[in-house]
Structure 1
Amino acid sequence: MKCFLLLVMLTACAATPQDLSGKMFIFPQQTSTANVRLTASRQDFGAATVCHRSFTDLKRDHGLFSLATPSSANDFLIFWDEANTEMEAHVKNAKTEYKGLDYKSNMWHSICTTWDSESGLVQLWFDGQPSIKKFASSGSNISGSTRIILGQEQDSHGGRFDLKQCFIGMMSDVHMWDYTLSPCEIQKYVDELNFTPGNLLNWSALEFQITGRVLIEDKQKLLIAQNSQSCTQHPDSDFKMKFLLLLVMLTACAATPQDLSGKMFTFPQETNTANVRLTASRQDFGAATVCHRSFTDLKRDHGLFSLATSSESNDFLIFWDEVNIEMVARVKNAKIEYKGLDYKSNMWHSICTTWDSESGLVQLWFDGKPLMKKFASSGSNISGSPIIILGQEQDSYGGGFDLKQCFIGMMSDVHMWDYTLSPCEIQKYMEGLNFTPGNVLNWSALEFQITGRVLIEDKQKLCS
């Protein structure tokens, strides 16, 4: 799947409305500058409905939609208050609070907020469920020169952004109406059916300006992998596989690749020596996907996949941080953290990690669920002679193993590609279906060396 990427560091004053159907804005890192400014079709209204979808793993305050005028920085604000565990709607600077929402990390949420100046009532619809109506402000319109911002929360008209309130994640389907949308229309929006698009902001004809690192990509959806027609194979995958096989046959002095289908590596004890060193088919790549399955009962830090080059020991690292309860992906030593994962002991977990040097974005897929995209490192390839290690985490090129970071457990189905795998192919990998094997590392034709006590066994499966 080819993604439509747009990275604009500085924008011109005017923009032609764009159809963003099927697209999303990605806010990949913490910053007090990056934002998207939306242009509304009018400047004065006595009622409003704002709907949007967002996806984040933030565990702190963050703004979701910020509309300011010269007279009020919070003329229409949707804000998550982490300390009080509540969604807030501010209208004409009056705050209404909504508690008890199941605002989970790492999943899409649909949020609609309505307000009417005649009654002064505000209502929040969260994932299709209406809240109670609460009084905010009545008797006067929102009017003046409106500034509508995504990604930041305005503390003044068009500015004073707070680094610790910025949004990090993905956002899509932003619409705004100058009236209170009916419950039926809101339900159709939530269910992604045919609804009346916003007449103030319309995602299908959106005028906007991007400042800083904000990207536009195709919105990811989980695909039914069993439907082979829904998946498009990477255009170069057949050629790359044939080329890889040719390289294997022609490479002198190389170990014979082994087919480990249905097998697993077992790392049975704590040690700072035992490891499996994998041989990659190439030395330079500007994108990567690594997938693996692992099974452990460790309750401490441990490395899952470690790729080092002579210039960087953490060129591509997948690591569990027990202290902060997060999966860490490091690319070219830039650290990306993923919290809120159900990383249970004594069960198999499937983990895929993608990175692309052009956009700099990293994404983790955990047990079939995509997490948010985050910025790591862009503009340069991973290059040099890579050393890829399972069972240990490299603190130096090919070594520096820490006894308390070694992996104990079982590992299987390790694949690596030199491109970002499509969501459909990742889903097929997760479900153990017929997928395109890795062209950098292929579990069915794996070249490796074992050091210390690491065993190869049949992968265990529960019997019916």
Structure 2
Amino acid sequence: MSAAVPQDLSGKMLVFPQESSSAHVRLTTSRQSLGAVTVCQRFITELTRAFSLFSLATPSVANDFLILKNAASGDISPYIRDLGITFKAQDYHLNRWQSLCVTWDAASGLAQLWLDGKPSILKFFSTSNISGPMIIVLGQDQDSYGGGFDSKQSFVGMLTDVHMWDYVLPPHHLDNYSQRFNFPEGNILNWRHRSHRRLKKRATGLKMAPVCIFLSLTIGISAALPRDMTGKMLIFPQETNTDHVRFTTSRQTLGAATVCLRYLTDLVRSFSFFVLATPTHVNDFHIFKMPARDEINVDIRNVAKNFKGQEFKLNTWQSVCATWEAASGLVQVWLDGKPSSMKFATNSNISGPMIIVVGQDQDAYGGGFDKIRSFVGMISDVHMWDYVLSPHHLDNYSQKFNFPEGNILNWSSIEFMITGRVLVQNKQHPC
């Protein structure tokens, strides 16, 4: 074991050349309390099994802040205060340098991944601060405070540019880190000036070859007030049978409708995008993602129509629109501006006081929620019209060009009520 000494590791990397239950690097910090964290690093490996990229333990919690790469190729699981949640569909590559950042904030409880500058959805972990003397380890997973290593979870490969902050780094700095542009160096761990212990000679430092603002969260039930949501998104950070957003409209009859929204999720199960219920029909206008990856259902007046061959993508912002008119009875889906075939649903008008919900599937008028059909991810740019939007405008919506704003629901001036842990934030636009 070598003593902890500050070193400038600019342009250098740590090499972990073999599977081991002992070789690791311990990073030194005097901090004993954290209410927010960002950790960034670059790595290269050919491992296809699970392994640890970063492990912070305190005497009471072995996995106080752990970044674990799962065996499944696209899955990465942070653990915060011993709670592990998986982020799926990450663009993980073998034998290629990648940058990885994980952020977490106790005020909201939200954590997020940024892999090569691409953000994941935000998920809820813990609102409890990390507290106690910290041991930070690279190369191993601490199953106990400072130890409990398992060779089958060890890292084999190279690590560099490890930084840690006691706050959530904003999107443009996270993007700058991935691009190797200017970013504020870590104020807890700083690769340019770091105290570390090198444990076991086989973890070595070698010369390396070149290789936006948060808004206040809303929890509980908020009153319906018109808001300009331009540039903002709704975050549904956890699977639940309660959390949802209810949009307000005074309309009680519809002979046609178009609904458009944008979403980001890593869900592989079924879930509801948008549901309009009346006392007589709980699925009067319902957009529903089916378990099969390429299938989307649209229900009109409780008549379900299935649209196959949809190019649904995980962990990527997409736009979805659904149109219907009673005169013809035809319903259609537009995913990322690509139209489906048209199908006959019903010639019957939607009629009655309407409850419109995103985040849950109404199995009863205004309720009947089931967490296994809840939405987890982000939703933005929700609009609804009382007519079928033209193909030109549907394409413009998908391309973020000019289109007529919704005359029933308009994201630029929309009334809604939040129930549960649903948050409003600025949309993330890396520079």
Report the CA distance between 1:41 and its aligned residue: 4.3
Report the CA distance between 1:102 and its aligned residue: 1.6
1:37 equivalent in structure 2: 246
1:3 equivalent in structure 2: 214
Report the CA distance between 1:78 and its aligned residue: 0.3
1:341 equivalent in structure 2: none
How does 1:4-403 map onto structure 2 within 5 Å?
A: 4-12=215-223, 15-83=224-292, 85-138=294-347, 140-223=348-431
Q: Secondary structure at the match of 1:113?
A: strand
Deviations 1:139-190 (A, max 9, x none): x211101010000000010000011000000000000000000011111111
Unpaired stretches in structure 1, ≥5 consecutive residues: 224-464
Report the CA distance between 1:11 and its aligned residue: 2.5
- Is the 8 Å Cα contact of residues 41 and 199 (structure 1) preserved in structure 2? no
* Partner Cα distance (1:120, 1:42) in 2: 20
Report the CA distance between 1:84 and its aligned residue: 7.1
Identify, as 1 or 2, the structure richer in helix.
1
- Number of aligned residue pairs: give it: 220
Report the CA distance between 1:43 and its aligned residue: 1.8
After the TM superposition, which segments of 4 or more aligned residues of structure 1 sit over 4 Å from their partners?
Answer: none
Q: Give identity over the alignment, percent.
A: 51
Q: Secondary structure at the match of 2:396?
A: helix
- Is the 8 Å Cα contact of residues 293 and 312 (structure 2) preserved in structure 1? no
TM, length-normalised to structure 2: 0.50
Letter in 2 for 1:128: G
Deviations 1:259-295 (A, max 9, x none): xxxxxxxxxxxxxxxxxxxxxxxxxxxxxxxxxxxxx
How does 1:418-437 map onto structure 2 within 5 Å?
A: none
Q: Secondary structure at the match of 2:304?
A: strand
Unpaired stretches in structure 2, ≥5 consecutive residues: 1-211
* Partner Cα distance (1:24, 1:46) in 2: 29
After superposition, the Cα gap between the structure-2 partners of 1:204 and 1:41, relative to the gap in structure 1 and judged at 3 Å, is farther
Letter in 2 for 1:191: Q
Q: Secondary structure at the match of 1:189?
A: helix
After superposition, the Cα gap between the structure-2 partners of 1:200 and 1:41, relative to the gap in structure 1 and judged at 3 Å, is farther
* Partner Cα distance (1:183, 1:85) in 2: 22
* Partner Cα distance (2:213, 2:324) in 1: 40
After superposition, the Cα gap between the structure-2 partners of 1:179 and 1:61, relative to the gap in structure 1 and judged at 3 Å, is same
RMSD: 1.1
* Partner Cα distance (1:5, 1:188) in 2: 31
TM, length-normalised to structure 1: 0.47
Q: Secondary structure at the match of 1:101?
A: coil
* Partner Cα distance (1:81, 1:61) in 2: 5
* Partner Cα distance (2:215, 2:402) in 1: 24
Letter in 1 for 2:313: K
